Amino acid sequence: MGQKVHPVGMRLGINRTWKSRWFAKKNYAELLKEDLTIRKYVTTKLARAGISEVIIERKADKVVVNVRTARPGIVIGRKGIEVERLNKELEHLTSRDIRINILEVKRVELDAQLVAEHIAKQLESRMGFRRAVRKAVESTMRMGAKGIKIRCAGRLGGSEMSRVQEHHEGRVPLHTLRADIDFAKATARTTHGAVGVKVWIFKGEKLDGMIDSLEEEKRSQKSQRDSYRGRRDDRSDRGRGDRPPRRGARSGGRGAPAGRSGGRSSGGRGGSSAGRSGSGRPTGGTKPTGGTKPTGGTKPTGGTKPTSGGRPARRTGSGKPASSAGARQGGESKPAVKKSGEGKPAVKKSGEGKPAVKKSGKGKPAVEKSGTNEGS
């Protein structure tokens, strides 16, 4: 009764493979101890990097250490300084030629070792164990796992009596050999004592072949390199002239776009199809650019009003009011004034036909519209 079997050890040779891959006839115990020393040193040295597993391969006198981690940047360090330092430390520890490979864990929520360590860290930071377990279950099921089971044992919540709490969701078929089940355990060192955490994650059924995380990682990296190389080849085969025209492309390299000639685009205000010329002279019905406001404070619109105070418009040398450079076409031109029948400016008349005049100091009348015939 109560005999439990390690889920990974029971499936070795069926759909799981070993974490130490080498063969020895004589010094088996020495090599096994060396593997345990390397694995323990790497996991304690890189505790912050989230180490999932350490896979060791031996070829003659050369040892290849494959480290699967959730944070490869911490392991590699700036310009590879940390990896070189770790390599020298392991060579000094084992007196062998060691090469280290760093492999990244793509989905952290589906790795049992990383999930167990995350729960243990939360328990050490005094988070409620129910909340920590519930969050881990939700995140793992959200990432596509078929089932998960988590068991915590110890003085949970600081209680006097130790107890076991288990939470599971989905299905975890431990007796099905073709089931892909990942198992791991971690220990939380709390102020009340040690709390053990065990995690089972069911990812689906593996019908053919063995599950090798190292080979899967190498295949995924190779496929990424091939796809990247294929994209580069496609880009190099394509000629420069075969590129599709960009939206709103410019004609003539870096020159002005088609339909522009230094000013605003065609079809702007005034309905001009040729746009504006760079000289500021109006073409078609567009508004003139720069200097369009008349000088002297007079507005050359129809039905002009004399300015307050009766000051006359500033005159130029020829005795005519100064107009803007953009409003002239050819010679000098007078401001556009709406004429009446006799050639005099059109003034809005009052009741009897005479405008009400308000005398100013200089004698120039300031016209003010009123409803009667008398001045205000």
Give the list of residues 6+ apart from residue 134 with CB closer than 8 angstroms, or none. Answer: 167
Comparing 242 with 121, the larger pLDDT belongs to 121
Final residue of a domain: which of 105, 121, 149?
Answer: 105
Model confidence band, residue 61 (pLDDT cutoffs 50, 70, 90): confident
User: For residue range 261-271, what is the model confidence (pLDDT) as tens digits?
Assistant: 444 544 445 44
Return the top range by mean pLDDT from 70-84, 227-241, 329-343: 70-84
Higher pLDDT, 174 or 209: 174
- Residues 70, 126: one domain? no
pLDDT > 80? residue 79: yes
The string of pLDDT tens digits covering residues 306-329 is: 444 455 555 554 445 544 444 444
Mean pLDDT of all residues in 130-154: 95
Residue 186 lies in a domain: yes
Same domain, 91 and 115: no
At CA 161, angle to CA 123 and CA 168, rounded to 5? 50
pLDDT of 340 over the 50 cut: no
Question: What's the rounded mean pLDDT across residues 210-238?
Answer: 62
Residues 93 and 117 in one domain: no
Q: Are 118 and 189 within one domain? A: yes
Boundary-marking domain end, from 187, 205, 223? 205
Give the confidence band of 231 by pLDDT, cuts at 50, 70, 90.
Answer: low
Do 15 and 48 sit in the same domain of this protein?
yes
* Beta pairing partners, 68: 53, 103
Distance CA 312, CA 317 (A): 15
CATH number for the domain harbouring residue 47: 3.30.300.20
CATH code, domain with 137: 3.30.1140.32
Higher pLDDT, 247 or 351: 247
Q: What is the pLDDT of residue 263?
A: 46
My answer on whether 126 and 71 are in the same domain is no
The answer on 143 and 76 residing in a single domain is no
23 and 61 both lie in a single domain: yes
Q: Rank 70-74, 94-98, 152-156, 338-342 by mean pLDDT and report only the highest.
A: 152-156
Q: Rounded mean pLDDT of the chain?
A: 74
Our count of domains for the chain comes to: 2
Please give the model's pTM, rounded to 2 decimal places.
0.57
Determine the Cα–Cα distance for residues 128 and 74; give it in Å rounded to an integer.
29
User: Are residues 201 and 113 both part of a single domain?
Assistant: yes
Domain with 167 in it: 109-205
In this prediction, residue 179 has a pLDDT band, given cuts at 50, 70 and 90, of very high
> Is the pLDDT assigned to residue 234 strictly greater than 60?
no
Question: In this structure, is residue 153 part of a structural domain?
Answer: yes
Helix (H, G, I), strand (E, B) or coil at 336: coil
State the average pLDDT over residues 77-94: 91
Q: Is the pLDDT of residue 113 over 50?
A: yes
Q: Is residue 294 part of a domain?
A: no
- Identify whether 34 is part of a domain: yes
pLDDT for the residue numbered 346: 52
Q: What is the pLDDT of residue 206?
A: 84
In this prediction, residue 244 carries a pLDDT of 62
More confident residue, 290 or 103: 103
Does residue 49 carry a pLDDT above 50? yes
Listed residues 159, 181, 205: the one ending a domain? 205
Domain for residue 319, yes or no? no
Report the share of the chain in percent with pLDDT over 70.
Answer: 55
Average pLDDT over residues 67-76: 92
Helix, strand, coil percentages (3-state) for the chain, rounded to 5, are 30, 20, 50
Backbone angle region of 49, left / alpha / beta, with phi > 0 → left and psi within -120 to 50 → alpha: alpha
Determine which of 104-113, 155-164, 244-253, 330-339 has the lowest per-residue pLDDT on average.
330-339
Residues 88 and 17 reside in one and the same domain: yes
Looking at the structure, do residues 183 and 113 belong to the same domain, yes or no?
A: yes
322 lies in some domain: no
237 is a domain residue = no
181 occurs within a structural domain: yes
Whether residues 11 and 101 share a domain: the answer is: yes
